[in-house]
């Protein structure tokens, strides 16, 4: 009886016999009990098992919202913030104010030197044909005569407007300056006299930086004249006060002198006691001395 072959196809001779039909038999060891359930049962060419990768569930992507819907569903966006809107308004306000200031500067500064650089930096609404070469002009005329003519008319119109604006600004400046000088001359009557005499021009020529115009020169002259006049007035006042003081002292001295003469009876003052009073006997006695002094006083009173 041949021996059973091991393996998957191995069979037992006793499986189907009646003697063993009701008996418990151990399971057949066919080698499949060592199979890893996570390993594919199909081997590759080399016999190595192939790992089965677990598949991940695919997540459904949410549908992209439209711009309008996104703005409505996201009210907290930065560009929707009230402060941001306020900053935008302030920016627009500053831009408008800056444009107004630029416009005022164009009108208020025509007296300054015209700078070609500023004109070149300014964006022009046309292409300046004066900067093109002869070949470029001819080529433009041949390729696009209508465009060349339109650009030429635009340049002519723009330059004509610029010329009129400069003339208008210059005339306005002259009117303003004239009015300023007229008001100053009205408040300072000596202004025209000093200007016609050439004195103001001399001051301007002496220092153009400090005295760039006639008004500043005249104000400097007034200050200098006021200083001189102040010193002169002070000197005259001092001299007058000294003279008045001298006269007052002289009068007081004369008044005191006259009072002293009247109080002394017109006698001539001598140092010490007269000799006739010290030694009356030399002059005939006391009675004779008294009569002599009385006679002398009468003579002085009579102007003798």
Dist. CA 109–CA 124, nearest whole Å: 20
**DSSP letter, residue 24:** -
Q: What pLDDT score was predicted for residue 135?
A: 93
Q: 221 and 206 in contact (C-beta within 8 Å)?
A: no
Q: 2 and 25 in contact (C-beta within 8 Å)?
A: no
Q: Cβ atoms within 10 A of the Cβ of 106, count?
A: 13
Dist. CA 301–CA 144, nearest whole Å: 133
Q: 32 and 7 in contact (C-beta within 8 Å)?
A: no
Helix axes 190-197, 145-187, angle to 10 degrees: 110
Per residue of the chain (304 residues), give pLDDT as tens: 444 444 444 444 444 444 444 445 555 555 555 555 554 544 444 444 545 455 555 554 545 555 445 545 555 565 666 766 776 676 676 667 667 666 666 655 555 555 555 555 567 888 888 899 999 999 999 999 999 999 999 999 999 999 999 999 998 888 888 888 888 888 888 889 888 999 889 888 988 888 888 888 888 888 887 766 666 667 777 777 777 777 777 777 777 777 665 655 544 455 567 777 778 788 888 888 788 888 888 787 776 5
Q: What pLDDT score was predicted for residue 133?
A: 92
If we measure between CA atoms, which residue out of 276, 112, 48 comes closest to residue 267? 276
Give the up-direction half-sphere exposure of residue 257: CA atoms within 13 A in the CB hemisphere.
Answer: 7
- Helix, strand or coil, per DSSP, at residue 10: coil
Q: What pLDDT score was predicted for residue 150?
A: 92
Say which residue the tokens 């609404």 belong to: 125
Dist. CA 169–CA 176, nearest whole Å: 10
Q: What pLDDT score was predicted for residue 281?
A: 81
Q: What pLDDT score was predicted for residue 126?
A: 87
């Amino acid at each position: 009886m041949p021996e059973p072959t091991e393996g998957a196809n191995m069979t037992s001779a006793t499986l189907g016999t009646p003697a063993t039909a009701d008996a418990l038999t151990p399971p057949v060891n066919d080698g499949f009990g060592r199979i890893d359930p996570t390993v594919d049962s199909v081997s590759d060419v080399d016999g190595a098992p192939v790992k089965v990768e677990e598949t991940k569930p695919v997540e459904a992507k949410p549908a992209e919202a439209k711009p309008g819907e996104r703005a409505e569903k996201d009210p907290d966006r930065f560009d929707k913030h009230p402060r941001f809107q306020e900053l935008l308004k302030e920016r627009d306000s500053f831009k408008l104010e800056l444009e107004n200031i630029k416009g005022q500067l164009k009108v208020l500064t025509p007296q300054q030197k015209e700078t070609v650089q500023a004109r070149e930096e300014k964006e022009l609404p046309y292409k300046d044909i004066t900067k093109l070469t002869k070949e470029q002009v001819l080529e433009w005329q041949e390729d696009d005569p209508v465009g060349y003519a339109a650009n030429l008319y635009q340049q002519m119109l723009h330059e004509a407007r610029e010329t009129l604006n400069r003339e208008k600004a210059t005339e306005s400046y002259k009117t303003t300056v004239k009015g300023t000088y007229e008001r100053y001359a009205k408040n300072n009557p000596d202004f025209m006299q000093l200007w016609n005499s050439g004195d103001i021009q001399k001051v301007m020529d002496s220092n153009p930086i400090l005295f760039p115009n006639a008004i500043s020169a005249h104000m400097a002259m007034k200050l200098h004249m006021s200083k001189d006049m102040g010193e002169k007035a002070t000197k005259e006042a001092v001299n007058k006060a000294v003279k008045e003081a001298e006269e007052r002292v002289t009068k007081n001295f004369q008044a005191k002198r006259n009072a002293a003469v009247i109080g002394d009876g017109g006698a001539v003052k001598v140092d010490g006691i007269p000799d006739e009073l010290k030694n009356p006997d030399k002059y005939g006695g006391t009675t004779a001395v008294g009569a002599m002094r009385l006679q002398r006083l009468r003579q002085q009173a009579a102007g003798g």
